Amino acid sequence: MAYVNAVKAVHEIRDPIHVFVKLDAQERAVVDSRFFQRLRHIHQLALTYLVYPGATHKRFEHSLGVMELAGRVFDVITNPDNVTDEIRKQLDPLKNASEADRSRWRRTLRLAALCHDIGHLPFSHAAEKELLPEGWDHERLSYEVIMHPDMQAIWREMSLYPEDIAKLALGRKKGERLGLEFSPWEEILSEIIVGDAFGVDRMDYLLRDSHHLGVAYGRFDHYRLIDTLRILPKREQGSEDRPPVPVLGVEEGGLQSAEALLLARYFMYSQVYFHPVRRIYDIHLKDFLTEWLPNGQFPTDLDKLVTLTDNEVLSGLLASARKGCRKGHVHAKRIRERQHFKVLYERNPTDVERNEDAGAAVYRAAVEKFGAEHVRHDSYRQKGGVFDFPVLRRNGEVVSALALSDTLKNLPLVSVDYVFVSRDKYDVACRWLKREHDRIIEKGVEEEDDETATEGGSADQADR
């Protein structure tokens, strides 16, 4: 019976997307930490379950999935058969690294992937910008958690550097703001997690959200895509006299899978993440939290934050909804009784041709007419870079994906603009807008070209 007390070397966790997520005993220590366990109680998609009832999955399983995919991508792109001499010369860890070094980077990457969301606020992205002090966001909170003494003890045990984990988890955009400096190798590894085109964070959430919501839009052949990922040189016009930049790209045979991923992203954004009812619930939740939270903001003290999950917020929300004297009552009641504001105006090409910011013009006019308490504005334009990555052709040439793929060239981008109005003003507001529409749109143009005017009160919500 020698096996009874033996420490299990590899743990397997059942997962609906990846079948099994495997981790070793040391990685398990991160999963068991109080910061990571908190993610069991943070919904992946905030209040989306009020629209798509299946959307009750949590950041916990998503983070496990991201770790699993990150390890798979690392194995493919560092496989010596998949690395060209040009790239090997540019990236030291591919040229000189010992097996121990390679193993340390692999583990760093997997744990960074595991921790990439570890600082998420309750209900995920809902309005973190307005509900945190200036200079804070969930990425900075994730950084603070990774650097926390509790976590440092775990990293020390594994001989890993917390700064490396933070860098790879946050990526260059967020990491630079925290003073982290990236080598080209670290940048490639961080791209594996947070990259615009091939980040495994995105791969996992598209597949997982799609699965739980019961929509097919988010599916794509991620097995094929991952197998064809490569580190490739990217060139710009007029940069022939300098070394090319190594970035993630694909072999030609994976181009269609990459197209499918980016189409899946577009469809999920337009059909799910920017569903108007989902968006207005986020706004009502933000309105509630602004009144309910002490000083209208989440704590940045980690010991306080760790005790605050969706459960505590939901409990507070239901209590506020029941009693008129409680803070945030009006907004909580709207959510509990599903009396959300309704769409009064939605961006459309005809109006946009006359006034690029037609939504803001309608919002300002509606506020003037019905009062700010009855009107909300939500606008979002797609962020991130151009989906142009290098493709390794069968003849060894490396070319631009955009030039090879009409699909990528014509891929639509997400741009939404909604004006919502309370239910008790809805009918009268619809009649008013029908009457005043043309005047509002034209007037808005004049107001915009005025440097003294202030920004409209739009609720430009964060990206997923």
Partner 1 sequence: MKRLQKAAVLTRLIDELRRRGSWAGETHVQKAGYLLQEVTGVPLGYDFVLYHYGPFSFDLRDELTALRADGLVTLEPHLNYGPKLATTPQAEKLQKNFERTLARYGPAIAFVAGKLGSSGVYELEKLATALHVTKELGEDASVEDRAKRLTEIKPHINLQEALKAVRRIDRFRTDARQIAARREAVH
The reply to whether 137 sits near partner 1 by the rule CB under 8 A is: no
Rounded to a whole number of angstroms, the minimum distance from the CB of residue 240 to partner 1 is 8
Near partner 1 by CB under 8 A, which window of 118-126, 231-239, 306-314, 320-328?
Answer: 231-239
Rounded alpha-carbon distances, angstroms, from residue 359 to 130, 142, 212, 272, 341: 21, 34, 32, 21, 16
3-state SS, residue 376: strand
Rounded to a whole number of angstroms, the minimum distance from the CB of residue 384 to partner 1 is 6
Rounded alpha-carbon distances, angstroms, from residue 89 to 86, 97, 244, 395, 407: 5, 12, 12, 21, 33
Rounded to a whole number of angstroms, the minimum distance from the CB of residue 397 to partner 1 is 9
Near partner 1 by CB under 8 A, which window of 58-66, 80-88, 355-363, 433-441?
Answer: 355-363
Kindly tell me which of 17 and 188 has the beta carbon lying closer to partner 1.
Answer: 188
Q: How far apart are CA 320 and CA 144, in angstroms?
A: 31
Near partner 1 by CB under 8 A, which window of 58-66, 119-127, 210-218, 407-415?
Answer: 407-415
Near partner 1 by CB under 8 A, which window of 18-26, 97-105, 221-229, 240-248?
Answer: 240-248
Q: Which of residues 371-400 bind partner 1 (CB under 8 A)?
A: 381-386, 388, 399-400
Q: How far apart are CA 408 and CA 401, in angstroms?
A: 8
Q: Which of residues 169-198 bind partner 1 (CB under 8 A)?
A: 172-173, 176-177
Q: How far apart are CA 112 and CA 200, in angstroms?
A: 12
The reply to whether 455 sits near partner 1 by the rule CB under 8 A is: yes
Q: How far apart are CA 75 and CA 80, in angstroms?
A: 10
Cα dihedral sign for 373, 125, 456, 381? negative
Among 81, 85, 134, 241, interactor with partner 1 by CB under 8 A: 241
The reply to whether 448 sits near partner 1 by the rule CB under 8 A is: yes
Cα angle value 357/363/366 (rounded, 5°): 140
3-state SS, residue 336: helix
Contact positions toward partner 1, by CB under 8 A? 172-173, 176-177, 234-243, 245, 352-353, 355-357, 381-386, 388, 399-400, 402-404, 409, 413-415, 445, 448-451, 453, 455
